[in-house]
């Protein structure tokens, strides 16, 4: 037969184990029954679908066109075309050989030569005038079309358009096709583009 004094430590151990188990159950029950924090005022929890839609949404494209630049470009282009084909007393010649110069810098050297007898005003018009007239194009085109914000792209497109106008002057007998005019005009476009970059 086992003595009661020998059973006492085992009873104490059993009672402590039972108390610890009940305490653990109470702690777990309190955690589960504790209220959740309410969401911040003014904010609604976003649903997963809205979050995915927001991630896949692209930012709205910014407006890059400038109506004032488009209007100025149209008016100025019409004015330049008038100068090239009608202005300065130009008259279409009936027939005759086509006038052209395809040797670079020949005409420029002619106007820079002080002994050729050409008046100073005509020198200024043909040298500085051909540059200055096309400066506004280099400044306005990047405002109108974003693709012209590339320097090489704008110069290539401008050179192509100017070459077409020079050929039309030659074919219509209201001027000549001169490679030096083309070079000076493209130089003016480049200066206008530099002014656009400095804005």
CB-count exposure of residue 141 (10 Å: 0-12, 13-18, 19+): buried
Find the domain containing 130 and state its range.
Answer: 76-197
**HSE-up of 164 (CA within 13 Å, CB side)?**
6
With beta carbons less than 8 A apart as the criterion, state whether 176 and 100 touch. Answer: yes
Does 67 map to a domain?
no
Question: Given this model, what pLDDT does residue 61 score?
Answer: 42
Does 154 map to a domain?
yes
Q: Is residue 177 within a helix (H) or strand (E), and if so which, with residue range?
A: strand 177-178
Does 116 map to a domain?
yes
Give yes or no for residue 62 having a pLDDT over 60: no
Instruction: State both tokens at 18.
Output: 């039972």
Does 28 map to a domain?
no
For 1-35, write each residue's pLDDT tens digit. 444 444 455 565 667 666 666 665 565 656 566 55
Does 33 map to a domain?
no
For 107-157, write each residue's pLDDT tens digit. 999 999 988 888 999 999 899 999 999 999 999 999 998 888 999 999 999
Question: Given this model, what pLDDT does residue 21 score?
Answer: 67
With beta carbons less than 8 A apart as the criterion, state whether 154 and 142 touch. Answer: yes
CB-count exposure of residue 116 (10 Å: 0-12, 13-18, 19+): exposed
Name the CA radius of gyration of the chain, rounded.
43
Number of domains forming the structure of the chain: 1
Give yes or no for residue 36 having a pLDDT over 80: no
**Alpha carbon distance 198, 191 (integer Å):** 11
Task: Compute the average pLDDT of residues 173-191.
Answer: 96
Does 50 map to a domain?
no
Does 57 map to a domain?
no
Task: Compute the average pLDDT of residues 70-84.
Answer: 95
For 78-95, write each residue's pLDDT tens digit. 999 999 999 877 877 777
Instruction: State both tokens at 195.
Output: 């002014």
Instruction: State both tokens at 85.
Output: 């084909």
With beta carbons less than 8 A apart as the criterion, state whether 137 and 155 touch. Answer: no
Instruction: State both tokens at 34.
Output: 């504790």
For 149-179, write each residue's pLDDT tens digit. 999 999 999 999 999 999 999 999 999 999 9
Question: Given this model, what pLDDT does residue 22 score?
Answer: 65
Does 5 map to a domain?
no
CA torsion sign, 139 to 145 to 149 to 153? negative
CA 89 to chain centre: 41
**Alpha carbon distance 19, 24 (integer Å):** 9
């Amino acid at each position: 037969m086992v003595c009661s004094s020998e059973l006492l430590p085992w009873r104490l151990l059993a009672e402590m184990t039972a108390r610890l188990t009940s305490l653990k159950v109470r702690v777990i029950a309190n955690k589960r029954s504790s209220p959740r924090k309410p969401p911040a005022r003014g904010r609604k929890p976003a649903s997963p679908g809205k979050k995915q839609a927001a991630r896949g949404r692209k930012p709205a494209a910014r407006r890059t066109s400038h109506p004032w630049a488009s209007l100025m470009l149209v008016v100025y282009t019409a004015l330049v075309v008038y100068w090239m084909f009608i202005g300065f007393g130009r008259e279409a010649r009936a027939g005759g050989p086509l006038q052209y110069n395809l040797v670079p810098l020949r005409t420029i050297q002619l106007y820079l030569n002080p002994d050729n007898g050409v008046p100073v005003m005509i020198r200024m018009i043909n040298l500085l005038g051909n540059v200055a007239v096309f400066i506004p194009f280099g400044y306005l085109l990047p405002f109108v079309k974003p693709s012209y914000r590339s320097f090489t792209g704008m110069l290539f497109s401008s050179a192509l358009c100017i070459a077409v106008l020079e050929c039309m002057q030659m074919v219509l007998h209201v001027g000549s096709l001169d490679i030096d005019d083309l070079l000076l005009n493209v130089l003016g476009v480049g200066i206008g583009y530099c002014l656009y970059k400095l804005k």
